[in-house]
Amino acid sequence: MSETLLPRAAATPIVIVGHVDHGKSTLIGRLLHDTDSLPEGRVAQIIESSRKRGLQVEWSFLLDSLQIERDQGVTVDSTRIPFHLGTRQFVIVDAPGHRQFLRNMITGAADAEAAVLVIDAAEGAQEQTRRHAMLLRLIGIRHVIVLMNKVDLLDYDAERIAACERATGALLDKLGITAALFVPASAREGDNIAARSERMAWYTGPTLTEALDAVPAPSSRADLPLRLPVQDVYRFDNRRYVVGRIERGRVRVGDPLVIGSHGTVARVAAIESWHTAPQISAVAGQSVALVLEPDVIPDRGDLLHPPGDAPVRAARIRTRLFWLRQEPLRVGESLRLRLSTAEHAVTVVSIDSVVKLDDLTEHPSDHVPPEGFAEITLAASEAILFDPFLPGTTDGRGVLVDRHQRIVGGAPLIGPAQIAEGARAIHPTGSTLSPWDRAQARGHRGAVFWLTGLSGSGKSTLARGAETALFAEGIDVAVLDGDTLRAGLCADLGFSDADRRENIRRAASVARIMAETGQVVIVALISPLAADRAMAREIVGEGFEDVFVDTSLDQCEARDPKGLYAAARAGRITGFTGIDAPYEPPANPDLRLATGAEATGETIARLVRHITGAVVLADAARRRS
């Protein structure tokens, strides 16, 4: 049945979600067949396709219109299918179940009024079941029907089916989702889809079609205060036209409107249209071209609204997040927030909580993992106009994109974020260049190699030698050594335990910033305590390696290039590492350099080989060889 026969605007959108292979495509094919919603001849095509493959009637072939889907056996994109029950019209959204296609579900299910969560009653809830349930919560689906599919594999056993219902109900309860109904069914056999199953006389509830028919109709967006995001501004014949789609509310000629970004009030002089008579009014869902008086010029993304009913204006925003990128999201990263036709540069200023998927509990974290759910706070350099996320509307439906305009996260906006009393309004900003972009450009990753060892062990000598050799190989490298830092950045620090720890903290923080820009950083610090080195590793994060310059105290004291050991033995220096202060060697360093066992040049070469092996990309390594 063509989509033109069932206008999408008048239909109730229903999204169907579930773990891969739990039967979504089969369910939709059966549903369309059993309600006589298929075009003439389509059933014969399905029967013939199934026969050629030696199968029974395979209803999922209805949706597998892309060859890649048949080859892989999974649905790869969101498919919208017109569907009807009596006189009521629906649009079924078949959302992907395989984890690599979750990105498509965010957009596919965004406007759904209700959801059917398909669960294999024999297998129960799986990882993607939890992810999809989280997404239903994220995008605000209020009406959820759980279809416990494949009950024929349980021989229609009431007790085993009830156990699946209890487990699924408990899962949804953790997410604050109350299922409207649990329907035991077999999509392949047609049990409780459009007709009541004779094999489950114990079930007295509605069939799936009866449950769908009971889904509340979409609420009218026309009754809400006007929101008109500006798509563009055109000029023809000395008249300026402000063009956009009315997201909610209505507008009439003569209405005053506020230009959101600067607060100017203008009057609607005309609502123009081409090839038809001029309009007097327009409502939600319509695209319009307004002529304003005075002739103000909004920007693309500007939000037009009534003078007495403004949206929220905030520069710090609380956001729910589903993170799609395969690298973690960390505080300080800069992205772009796409909100209707507007785009805003934003920075992640805090990760407030992350959902642990195995038990759906929330906990603090310093990053959001790939395909992770979290609540975060975003900050912009200027105020953003928005309406907090409201299920059933387009309000607050933000999306995060990277500098290549790739969607990296679904981000409904919850509301403004308040700065806690006494807190500092610090907005760390991160580059829109990803570590991978920089690595591809340079041929190597950024990383920190932390050289630890006694005074006089040769740390700075090895670091500077490696720096020269690496630079000659085209690697962007820098050295941070203790004396250099104490001559500048750490000149205000002494040698107390607290000051030494602060010296290491500063060095690690600077090294992390440099590594994030794609540089290889070699840090040469005594850093005698294991706890302080652990702190440095935590600050730097991924890409930190500790290198133990293993030189005995006797060797170091024999060298004594700065005369420090002699001064310590004479009592002129106190708290000197190795004499009257401890040194804790790394238990399991990433690299151990025993400087007394080989010539200095050979040790430098070993360090250089270790670093290049860790940071140089495979393609670049082949070119070097």
SS (H, E, C) 145-174: EEEEECHHHHCCCHHHHHHHHHHHHHHHHH
202-210: average pLDDT: 93
The pTM of the full predicted model, rounded to 2 decimals, is 0.58
Strand order in the sheet with 520-524: 477-481, 520-524, 447-452, 544-549, 591-593
Q: In order of start, what are the domains of the chain with their CATH numbers?
A: 8-213 (3.40.50.300), 221-305 (2.40.30.10), 314-432 (2.40.30.10), 440-624 (3.40.50.300)
Instruction: Give per-residue pLDDT as tens, 47-64.
Output: 566 566 655 655 555 555
Q: Which of 84-93, 265-274, 341-350 bottoms out in mean pLDDT, i.e. has the lowest?
A: 84-93
What secondary structure letter does DSSP report for 8?
A: G
Q: CA-CA distance, 376 to 331, in Å (whole number)?
A: 9
Residue 75 confidence (pLDDT): 43
pLDDT in the model for residue 68: 38
pLDDT at 6: 33
What pLDDT is recorded for position 76? 39
Mean pLDDT throughout 8-34?
76
Confidence of residue 42 (pLDDT cuts 50, 70, 90): low
Assign residue 449 a region: left if phi > 0, alpha if psi is -120 to 50, beta otherwise? Answer: beta
Q: Which two tokens stand for residue 599?
A: 């010539």
Give catalytic residue positions. Answer: 527
Distance CA 141, CA 133 (A): 10
What pLDDT score does 1 carry? 35
Strands 143-149 and 181-184: parallel
How do residues 371-395 score in pLDDT, each as one tens digit? Answer: 888 999 999 878 899 999 876 677 8
* DSSP secondary structure of 132-146: HHHHHHHHT--EEEE
pLDDT for position 618? 76
φ, ψ dihedrals at 207, nearest 5° = -75, 175
Contact 143, 24 (CB under 8 A): no
Task: Express each pLDDT in 243-300 by its tens digit.
Answer: 999 988 999 999 999 998 788 999 999 998 766 677 899 998 888 999 999 988 888 9
pLDDT of 3 strictly over 50: no
Count of Cβ atoms closer than 10 Å to residue 558 Cβ: 10
Both tokens of residue 186?
A: 């077999």
Q: Which pLDDT band, with edges at 50, 70 and 90, does 41 fall under?
A: low
